[in-house]
């Protein structure tokens, strides 16, 4: 199997088959937004990958390369890693769209100074970005998106069997198109709130010109924060609908990545 023999025969062959199947699943879990966050212990990801791999081995006839440590065998492993990372990265891009919108909203409100550590990426994120991340995660879990995504990962062994796992130009074009959609969705999320903040800033500027004794900074910053929070409350149903559609588009993009 791997040009090494430990004397266990068929049991050893099944073990290396399980390890080979876990390669794609583990790479997908590492790149996914929920399963790959730093707060999830690596042991938990290994357990989940192993549990899903056992089901894949039982449901499909996936076979490991006859010589896993040879050049063709290592290329097969690299192909599995590439497919797994692509499946998780597509989902990661969908979760990044609300954070982009939150960056624009926070800058317009003057709240980018209030930052915290994002548990998904480990980087600094504005407070509004944390709110959008939690909302996106709750919607994704409520829709059963995590179960649908795992189903697509399992189905990928039928649509992209090992040995045929190198992605072509069509798949990479689909990922780039999803990136463009991510920026458009982020702008759509930020647009209603930014329009309200623009009106508030224009009114504040007119007041400061009409009454120069008014302090622009002491008047404009609280007004911008209050107007932004009010706009977020009013636009909450619209934001929820956008995130629901974004989750569906992300899962459709994962499915399309497998069928191209």
Identify the CA nearest to 181 among candidates 127, 252, 88.
Answer: 252
User: What is the reported pLDDT for 207?
Assistant: 73
Q: How many CA atoms lie within 13 A of 65 on its CB side?
A: 20
- In degrees and rounded to multiples of 5, residue 67 shows phi and psi of -130, 95
Confidence band of 168 (pLDDT split at 50, 70, 90): low
| pLDDT of 246 higher than 70 | yes
Task: Enumerate the H helices of 32-144 as residue ranges.
Answer: 42-59, 71-109, 127-142
Identify the CA nearest to 247 among candidates 194, 191, 190, 185.
Answer: 185
At 184-229, the pLDDT tens digits run 888 888 888 888 888 887 887 777 777 666 666 666 677 777 888 8
CA–CA separation, 177 and 253 (whole Å)? 9
Q: Report whether 50 contacts 81 (CB < 8 A).
A: no
CA–CA separation, 192 and 187 (whole Å)? 9
| Count, residues in the chain | 260
- Domains of the chain, residue spans: 10-259
| pLDDT of 142 higher than 70 | yes
| pLDDT of 1 higher than 50 | no
Q: Report whether 242 contacts 189 (CB < 8 A).
A: yes
Identify the weakest region by mean pLDDT among 14-18, 56-60, 116-120, 125-129: 116-120
Q: Could you tell me what percent of the chain has a pLDDT over 90?
A: 0
The 3-state DSSP class for residue 69 equals coil
CA–CA separation, 111 and 70 (whole Å)? 55
């Amino acid at each position: 199997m791997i040009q090494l023999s430990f004397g266990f025969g068929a049991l050893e062959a099944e073990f290396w088959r399980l390890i080979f199947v876990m390669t794609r699943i583990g790479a997908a879990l590492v790149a996914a937004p929920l399963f790959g966050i730093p707060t999830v212990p690596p042991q938990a990801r290994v357990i989940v990958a192993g549990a899903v791999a056992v089901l894949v081995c039982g449901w499909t006839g996936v076979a490991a390369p006859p010589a896993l440590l040879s050049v063709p065998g290592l290329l097969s492993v690299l192909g599995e890693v590439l497919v797994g990372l692509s499946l998780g990265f597509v989902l990661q891009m969908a979760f990044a769209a609300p954070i982009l919108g939150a960056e624009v909203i926070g800058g317009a409100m003057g709240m980018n100074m209030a930052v915290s550590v994002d548990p998904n990426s480990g980087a600094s994120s504005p407070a509004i970005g944390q709110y959008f991340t939690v909302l996106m995660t709750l919607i994704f879990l409520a829709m059963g998106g995590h179960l649908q995504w795992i189903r697509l990962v399992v189905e990928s062994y039928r649509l992209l069997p090992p040995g045929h796992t190198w992605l072509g130009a069509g798949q990479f074009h689909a990922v780039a198109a999803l990136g463009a959609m991510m920026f458009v969705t982020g702008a759509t999320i930020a647009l209603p709130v930014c329009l309200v903040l623009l009106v508030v800033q224009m009114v504040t500027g007119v007041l400061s010109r009409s009454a120069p004794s008014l302090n622009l900074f002491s008047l404009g910053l609280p007004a911008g924060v209050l107007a932004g929070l009010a706009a977020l409350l009013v636009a909450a149903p619209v934001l929820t609908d956008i995130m629901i559609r974004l989750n569906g588009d992300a899962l459709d993009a994962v499915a399309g990545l497998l069928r191209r």
